[in-house]
Amino acid sequence: MDYIIIGNSAAAIGAVEAIRKNDKNNLIKIISEEEYMVYSRPLISYLLAEKVTTKRMYFREKDFYEKNKVIKLLGSRAIGINCDQRYVSLENKEMIKFDKLLISTGGKPIIPGIKGLKNERVFGFTTWSDVDKITRISKEVKEGVVIGGGMIGIKAAEALCEIGIKVTIVELADAVLSRALDKEASHIIQNRLKEAGVDVITGSEVSEVTVKDSKVVEGVILKDGRRIRCDFVVVAIGVLPNIDIVKGTNIKVKRGLVVDEHMETNVRGIYAAGDVAEGYDSITGEDRPIPIWPLAIRQGRVAGNNMSGLVTNYPGGFPMNAIEFSGMPTISIGITDPKEDGYEIIKKTDIKKGIHKKIIVKENRIVGAVFVGEIDRAGIITGLIKDKIDIRDFKKDLLYGDLGLISLPKGMRMERLESA
């Protein structure tokens, strides 16, 4: 029995740990294009801001692979899968046979069709090597433009700002973080960004990066003709499932790889997990990629269990993120800004103080929440969403005073405290 895993990030690690609980001996091989041992992708902005050392980037101890008897093929690019003869082909022509395969290839950055992007001073912001490239030039540059004001763009801007670079964010929507947050929260964050010296341009788009040559960027031109001078550009529009590997196979693809409740694709013995997979969204009921670290771990673990014979169902998950800018902690969970009818909003907002707490309810169940400024015990809401708790009897208490278990009915509270 050979377990092969393509990818070496959160889902892969979740899978290895699950497999090794059930199967101590059979071969596990990890194939990854990146040369690094498993590192925390969400930490790349901290690395750029010099808030973590390279040593702290690693998500597991040095002996992780050895301890778990994993053979690592790092720096090897997998280019195809033969589903019938059960092998993965590598770029170096090698063929790696498998009995059970996990595809955990993650996401790949969206590259917009903008003129001038092929330049040594245009960077992505999803990998450690992206940060290395930026760090190498960070002393020579003064001004940068970040294309995209979502989670990745904001984190990139924050880090650049902290190392003394003047940053302008250009965001297509009319507010930053518009997909993760609501108007009030975006407003608070945007104010913070401005106070920190970051320029934010919303409702606009970069139409061209102007360059001197392939190594020197001079600025960007926006759709409305405005020009911004800069020495480099970071493209942070978002990521799409990295599904290149399944081209030419029968593995079913929508936006990401389609999986069942065991994280298995339509081809028996081939599983998918993490940002590449269409996991079950337990709030909306649809299958879709939700590219966040905790769900990649969860899906990887479920896949690993099923691969090694312990039948486990994926319970589903939902988007959730914690981000902080200039000391303003922010949490977003699930549906944060419903556009249709049928939702009830409970909120407490004081924009001036930078406090915004909002819970979104549908049919007496919480389906989302936003916390800005005061985030303590926000996890209680996450738990109520996860367990689909009917909150009709205590809805009004939830944001009364401090958030706490005390808002829950006694029976429910005791049961929850007992059942952990």
Q: How far is the CB of 241 from another protein (least distance, A)?
A: 20
| Position among 331, 366, 367, 398 found at the interface with another protein (CB under 8 A) | 331
What DSSP string runs through 292-315?
Answer: -HHHHHHHHHHHHHHHTT------
Does 71 bind another protein (CB under 8 A)? Our answer is no
For 132, which DSSP code? H
User: What is the separation, in whole angstroms, between the first and last Cα of the chain?
Assistant: 35
Task: Name beta bridge partners: 164.
Answer: none
Does 410 bind another protein (CB under 8 A)? Our answer is yes
Does 163 bind another protein (CB under 8 A)? Our answer is no
Q: How far is the CB of 349 from another protein (least distance, A)?
A: 19
Q: How far is the CB of 294 from another protein (least distance, A)?
A: 4
* Other residues' Cβ atoms within 10 Å of the Cβ of residue 346: 17
Task: Please give the distance of CA 308 from its chain centroid, rounded to a whole number.
Answer: 27
Does 80 bind another protein (CB under 8 A)? Our answer is no
Strand 344-350 versus strand 355-362 pairing type: antiparallel
Does 112 bind another protein (CB under 8 A)? Our answer is no
- The Cα–Cα gap between 319 and 295 comes to 9
Does 382 bind another protein (CB under 8 A)? Our answer is yes
Does 320 bind another protein (CB under 8 A)? Our answer is yes
Does 377 bind another protein (CB under 8 A)? Our answer is yes
Does 309 bind another protein (CB under 8 A)? Our answer is no
Does 399 bind another protein (CB under 8 A)? Our answer is no
The one segment of 93-101, 266-274, 280-288, 314-322 that binds another protein by CB under 8 A: 314-322
Task: Name beta bridge partners: 287.
Answer: 280
- The Cα–Cα gap between 116 and 290 comes to 30
Does 248 bind another protein (CB under 8 A)? Our answer is no
Does 324 bind another protein (CB under 8 A)? Our answer is yes
Does 56 bind another protein (CB under 8 A)? Our answer is yes
Phi then psi for residue 134, to 5 deg, are -70, -40
The contact mask relative to another protein for 12-51 (x = CB under 8 A, - = no) is: ----------------------------x-xx--x----x
Nearer to another protein, 42 or 112 (CB): 42
Applying CB under 8 A, the site for another protein has a residue count of 45
Provide the token pair at 391. Answer: 């909150």
Does 380 bind another protein (CB under 8 A)? Our answer is yes
- The Cα–Cα gap between 356 and 367 comes to 17
Nearer to another protein, 211 or 408 (CB): 408
Nearer to another protein, 219 or 316 (CB): 316
Q: Which of residues 204-223 bind another protein (CB under 8 A)?
A: none
For 56, which DSSP code? G
Q: How far is the CB of 37 from another protein (least distance, A)?
A: 12
CA distances from 395 to 50, 364, 369 (A): 43, 8, 13
Nearer to another protein, 43 or 145 (CB): 43
Number of alpha carbons in the 13 Å side-chain half-sphere of residue 232: 24
| Position among 379, 394, 395, 399 found at the interface with another protein (CB under 8 A) | 379
- The Cα–Cα gap between 313 and 43 comes to 30
- The Cα–Cα gap between 17 and 101 comes to 15
Say if residues 208 and 116 touch (Cβ distance below 8 Å).
yes
Nearer to another protein, 3 or 59 (CB): 59
Does 405 bind another protein (CB under 8 A)? Our answer is yes
Does 420 bind another protein (CB under 8 A)? Our answer is yes
Provide the token pair at 180. Answer: 């993760």
Does 355 bind another protein (CB under 8 A)? Our answer is no
Does 70 bind another protein (CB under 8 A)? Our answer is no
Look-up: residue for tokens 């790696």? 96
Does 388 bind another protein (CB under 8 A)? Our answer is no
- The Cα–Cα gap between 98 and 4 comes to 6
- The Cα–Cα gap between 241 and 221 comes to 29
Sites of contact with another protein (CB under 8 A): 40, 42-43, 46, 51-52, 56, 58-60, 293-294, 297-298, 320-322, 324, 329, 331, 333, 375-380, 382-384, 386-387, 401-406, 410, 413-414, 416-418, 420
